[in-house]
Structure 1
Amino acid sequence: MKIKRLLNCSASDFASFDKLNLISSIAASAGRTILAENDVQLDPMTKGITNAEYVAAFGTDLILLNLFDFGTCEIKGIDKTENCIKRLKELTGRPIGVNIEPVDIEAKTLELTKTISQGRIASEKNLKLANEMGFDFICLTGNPSTGVSNNEIEKSIKLAKKIYSGVIIAGKMHGAGVSEPVIDEQTITKFIDAGADIILIPVAGTIPGLSEAEMSSLVNYVHSKEKLVMGAIGTTQEGSDIGTIRELALTSKRAGCDIHHIGDGGYSGTADPENIMQLSISVRGKRHTFHRMALSINR
């Protein structure tokens, strides 16, 4: 079956997708898929709305929830419901994912790490809940100073493969407080062998020492293994100026990333909304950006 490219998908298309459909649709979009992260614990910029609705309105294709706690299942802007993820999909018309953090209590750390709640950790219980609640994808990664290691991410991929049926994204956007390379070919190989569908690679210019040539080499390596890549802007540069976003976006595009991620490090738990729009315009132009922004969730 020929799959519709995600670039042109509507809410009804997304609702009919399974894991393979979503992956194929991203691949068919030829490096023009936008993913925006948002913090579910912070109050949005205005009342009566979620941060997910904000990022959707400014051109996002895929929405990634950060700091979501499976113990409370609370999202600022949504009243308590039986399934807040089902409700969020109704409000945004987009595939929804969640960050889940593989904390390594034995990792050698560079800084004072912080303890996060059990509801955010990559446990069997939380991975099962991600499946039951209908998350379309999970991202096994770490927030700053959480002590998430690549070794623990690899273990969590293997666990997720057994109990979670959606798309698995894996990798770190920064060190997460651990003394180790953020990404290299050896780590990528381990993640792919463990069962990751999409590898997260920081965009050159977001972490110290990663050149565009090195990033491109890593992206090519992932593609040689027939997996997809998400280039991540996750070091609070998502709150910088439009010129910086444009440069990072084109770096990610030149490197060959399939998904272009922008983090939640703005003032109210999202990137500057105009930066989300600029990321989209830079990698796919105004026509596709405005189409995504204007497309009704009732289609």
Structure 2
Amino acid sequence: MKRLLNCTASDFAEMNGIQLRQAVEASEGRVMLSEVVCATTPLYPGLTNAEYAAAFGADMILLNFFDVDQPNIQGLTVGNPLYVIKELKKLIGRPVGINLEPVDPDADQAETLEKLPKGRTGIPESLEKAKELGVDFVCLTGNPKTGVTNTAILKSIKVAKDIFQDEVMIIAGKMHGAGVRNEAGSGIVSQDVVTEFAQAGADVVLLPAVGSVPGTTLEKTKQLVQSVHEQGALALTAIGTSQEGAAKETIQQMALKNKMAGADIHHIGDAGAHGIAVPENIMDYSIAIRGKRHTYARMAASINR
């Protein structure tokens, strides 16, 4: 198995979930994941946001607001919607995943919550459809104002593991409060929570990036990452607080601190502009954690390799 740093489109096309996880682990904290909104007009017409993110150095693409009951990616037209994920993978030559949100009807609401369509939630039917659509990974998390809780995520991890087995990689965790009163700021995650997620079958545990939500210090994040690694899982640090649209220097600081904390995957969110991070920030983050050599190679590599 190659480390993900050295993988090209033909390598990704042959990977299952467990092989993708191994490729990430072998890369020693130098994997860049970009989240993009797929349900709105892209950064510029004519292409998908995923293509822009890939062009600026992202190794993995995470689609937000993707509805498995109505598969659609703005900027991409296919004859059969059931092939939209597979067609995107051909276009960008990268692993592609989607968010599914484990909504908790008993969540202690901190604000008025939005009602999500079933195709965006972490129910068994949606997980089954995600697998059929050909996703490489699924991220069980919550957007703002959705009422996703750690308890609901834990339940969805167990169901997802039964459905996916080794075929689809599972990422799970919260990057902000998601509209839940007692799971915000420094209370979003704990060592007990990350341990439970890993033991339930999460391949990758998602944590708020250092310097994103209040209380996410380098030391605390480092301890959480260590707990994840002790359970044999990988750790992803996520920027889900619109700082993906911050200044270059802010992005570089966050990148280095998340690497110091031990992140295996570095996530940058979708709120820079038009459902994507400021594209230069994807590149600057990538350069900070792995230099121009690996960043430029990822940006330049042909999808025909």
Tell me what 1:69 maps to: 67
- CA deviation digits over 1:80-122, x for unaligned, max 9? 4321001000100000000000000111111111111111011
Cα distance in 2 for residues equivalent to 1:210 and 1:231:
11
Cα distance in 2 for residues equivalent to 1:22 and 1:70:
22
Shift of 1:163: 1.2
Tell me what 1:20 maps to: 18
* Residue 214, structure 1, aligned to residue 220, structure 2: yes
Tell me what 1:120 maps to: 120
AA partner of residue 30 (structure 2): R
Cα distance in 1 for residues equivalent to 2:78 and 2:98:
18
Tell me what 1:132 maps to: 132
Q: How many matched pairs?
A: 297
Cα distance in 2 for residues equivalent to 1:220 and 1:214:
10
AA partner of residue 10 (structure 2): S
Map residues 172-211 of structure 1 onto 2, 5 A cutoff: 172-179=174-181, 180=183, 181-211=187-217
* Residue 278, structure 1, aligned to residue 284, structure 2: yes
Q: Partner of 1:98: helix, strand, or coil?
A: strand
Shift of 1:23: 0.7
Q: Partner of 1:127: helix, strand, or coil?
A: helix
1:267 corresponds to which of 273, 278, 282 = 273
AA partner of residue 75 (structure 2): G
Cα distance in 2 for residues equivalent to 1:217 and 1:192:
15
* Residue 224, structure 1, aligned to residue 226, structure 2: no
Cα distance in 2 for residues equivalent to 1:79 and 1:295:
24
- CA deviation digits over 1:113-162, x for unaligned, max 9? 11111110111111001111110000000000100000000000111111
Cα distance in 2 for residues equivalent to 1:43 and 1:243:
28
Cα distance in 1 for residues equivalent to 2:3 and 2:226:
22
Q: TM-score, normalized by length of structure 1? A: 0.98
Tell me what 2:163 maps to: 163
Cα distance in 2 for residues equivalent to 1:240 and 1:207:
14
Cα distance in 1 for residues equivalent to 2:195 and 2:221:
15
Tell me what 1:55 maps to: 53
Q: Which runs of 4+ in 1 moved over 2 A?
A: none
Tell me what 2:247 maps to: 241
Tell me what 2:4 maps to: 6
Cα distance in 2 for residues equivalent to 1:256 and 1:14:
24
Shift of 1:233: 0.8
- CA deviation digits over 1:218-264, x for unaligned, max 9? 11111111110001111100011101100100011000100000000
Q: Partner of 2:144: helix, strand, or coil?
A: coil
Tell me what 2:79 maps to: 81
**Conserved in 2, the CA contact under 8 Å of 1:97 and 1:138?**
yes
- CA deviation digits over 1:261-284, x for unaligned, max 9? 000001111000000000100000
Q: TM-score, normalized by length of structure 2? A: 0.96
* Residue 142, structure 1, aligned to residue 127, structure 2: no
Cα distance in 1 for residues equivalent to 2:263 and 2:79:
36
Q: Partner of 2:119: helix, strand, or coil?
A: helix
AA partner of residue 259 (structure 1): I
Q: Partner of 1:260: helix, strand, or coil?
A: strand
Cα distance in 2 for residues equivalent to 1:14 and 1:132:
18
Cα distance in 2 for residues equivalent to 1:199 and 1:71:
26
**Conserved in 1, the CA contact under 8 Å of 2:175 and 2:208?**
yes
Gaps of 5+ in 2: none
Identity %: 51
Cα distance in 1 for residues equivalent to 2:207 and 2:267:
10
